[in-house]
Amino acid sequence: MNFDTYDFNGKKALVRVDFNVPLNDQLEITDDTRMQAAVPTMKKILADGGRLILMSHLGRPKNNEPEFSLRHLVNHLEHLLSTPVKFADNCVGDDALDLTSGMQNGEVVLLENLRYHKEETAGDEFFAGQLAEHADVYVNDAFGTAHRAHASTAIIARFFPHDKLFGKIMEGEITAIDKVLHDSEKPVTAIIGGAKVSSKISIIENLLGRMDHILIGGGMAFTFIKAQGGNVGSSLTEDDKMELALDILKAAKEKGTQIHLPTDAIAADAFNNEANRQTCAIGEIPDGWMGLDIGPDSVEQYKQVIENSKTILWNGPMGVFEMENFAQGTVAVAKKLAEVTQTGTFTLIGGGDSVAAINQFNLADQVSYVSTGGGAMLEYLEGKVLPGIAAVRE
């Protein structure tokens, strides 16, 4: 079922959005990216003449603390949609049902925080059924929670066997990731960085055989280098993962994926932007020094692979990009990705820190797709079935 061609006219559409926005002490929204992202989905339903019922979680309330109320979002939502928004004090129950059953076409109701009921995260079927009573059609547009089997993200879909669909955010995310994993124009390359190899192992394993190239950067590179017998000084390593690192390199060869490790590093004598620095061959980092960025030779080598790829996934920074003196590798990769996007290469940026990096360098609008769902994106890349996706597809 396709969101764009579905006719919402006269239908009560229950949309699971991700309005989990940060609020300051005055309960003002400090970053409305997630609300903005849902506007196209919400506007399409209203433009069709649908009745828009929105549900979301906000934070992690324990005892229905008022600071987690979605009421704080009403004014801003009215501003984004240019239309009044009614608020239901409880997401389920008679009062909420009275409100939604009395809606006219083109009206909007925002339901109170789903997580004021512990049944939400428990994936309770009865609670999901209570939510389902509001509507004729269910739309899931909360990619950020698609990896959770919660009542509103997965269980509820079974109450709409014929009328359940993905909203525009979900469709965009799924299409972008599938384009890299299953439907890529070759050569296809994954750039994987970040602090620890342990958090990326499942992703790398799932990418072996699918990618032509994997470029490794960040702290995780040093576990591979040390496992190969290199001297990495006091760089970040996970010694209990060294054997696994060697297994990955072996499996990559067998599956036809070329893994590239950095050939040099910018080393520092302390974990500090002002520390002394030197460029070292990757396996020759002196004792007491730690690699905090990939070096210029590695940057050139990686830029070459990027230049020759047609599809690219980037997850995880090449170094400690939060410190200016160790951001060069990450900046160079980000700029090169922006450059090749111009000439038709598909570039997907996903996972918290690479998204933070691309935003920090103001290049987010120059790549093909920036994923919004950190944990969900990582689990999808690991090859896991996400409950929020499976429930709508079933």
Positions annotated as catalytic residues are: 34, 196, 352, 375
CB of 88 to ligand AMP, least distance (A): 37
Considering only 172, 233, 262, 291, the residue that binds ligand AMP (CB under 6 A) is 291
Size of the site for ligand AMP (CB under 6 A): 15
CB of 318 to ligand AMP, least distance (A): 7
> Which amino acid, one-letter code, is at 325?
N
Using rule CB under 6 A, residue 196 touches ligand AMP: yes
Nearer to ligand AMP by Cβ, of 33 and 198: the residue is 198
Using rule CB under 6 A, residue 195 touches ligand AMP: yes
Stretch near ligand AMP under the rule CB under 6 A, chosen from 56-64, 157-165, 191-199, 207-215: 191-199
List the one residue out of 368, 280, 354 whose CA is nearest residue 318. 354
Using rule CB under 6 A, residue 292 touches ligand AMP: yes
Nearer to ligand AMP by Cβ, of 295 and 388: the residue is 295
Please report, in angstroms and rounded to a whole number, the separation of the first and last CA atoms in the chain.
Answer: 11
| Exposed / middle / buried, residue 284 (Cβ in 10 Å: 0-12, 13-18, 19+) | middle
Strand partners, 166: 140
- Distance, in Å, from the CA atom of 140 to the CA atom of 157, rounded to the nearest integer, reads 9
* Residue matched to tokens 């979680």: 57
Q: Show contacts with ligand AMP in window 77-136 (CB under 6 A).
A: none
- Distance, in Å, from the CA atom of 334 to the CA atom of 249, rounded to the nearest integer, reads 25
Helix (H) or strand (E) holding 222: helix 221-227
Using rule CB under 6 A, residue 144 touches ligand AMP: no
Joined tokens for residue 197? 């190899």
Nearer to ligand AMP by Cβ, of 350 and 387: the residue is 350
Using rule CB under 6 A, residue 236 touches ligand AMP: yes
Using rule CB under 6 A, residue 319 touches ligand AMP: yes
- Please check whether residue 387 is in contact with residue 146, taking contact to mean a CB–CB distance below 8 angstroms: yes
Nearer to ligand AMP by Cβ, of 55 and 232: the residue is 232
- Distance, in Å, from the CA atom of 167 to the CA atom of 169, rounded to the nearest integer, reads 6
- Please check whether residue 166 is in contact with residue 140, taking contact to mean a CB–CB distance below 8 angstroms: yes
CB of 335 to ligand AMP, least distance (A): 18
- Distance, in Å, from the CA atom of 269 to the CA atom of 325, rounded to the nearest integer, reads 13
List the one residue out of 336, 230, 352 whose CA is nearest residue 282. 230
Using rule CB under 6 A, residue 322 touches ligand AMP: yes
Using rule CB under 6 A, residue 199 touches ligand AMP: yes
My answer on whether omega of the bond before 187 falls inside 30° of 0, hence cis, is: yes
Residues 6+ apart with CB under 8 A from 88: 95, 96, 99, 100, 109, 110, 111, 112
- Please check whether residue 58 is in contact with residue 19, taking contact to mean a CB–CB distance below 8 angstroms: yes
Using rule CB under 6 A, residue 317 touches ligand AMP: yes
Select the residue whose beta carbon is closest to ligand AMP and give its number: 194
Binding mask 242-281 for ligand AMP (x = CB under 6 A): ----------------------------------------
Neighbouring C-beta atoms of residue 204, cutoff 10 Å: 24
CB of 186 to ligand AMP, least distance (A): 26
Considering only 131, 353, 379, 391, the residue that binds ligand AMP (CB under 6 A) is 353
Show the beta-strand stretches assigned E in 234-391: 258-260, 264-268, 277-281, 284-285, 290-294, 311-315, 346-349, 369-370
Joined tokens for residue 262? 């950095």
Using rule CB under 6 A, residue 172 touches ligand AMP: no
CB of 336 to ligand AMP, least distance (A): 18
Nearer to ligand AMP by Cβ, of 77 and 378: the residue is 378
Using rule CB under 6 A, residue 295 touches ligand AMP: no
CB of 218 to ligand AMP, least distance (A): 4
Contact positions vs ligand AMP (CB under 6 A): 194-196, 199, 218-219, 236, 291-292, 316-317, 319-320, 322, 353
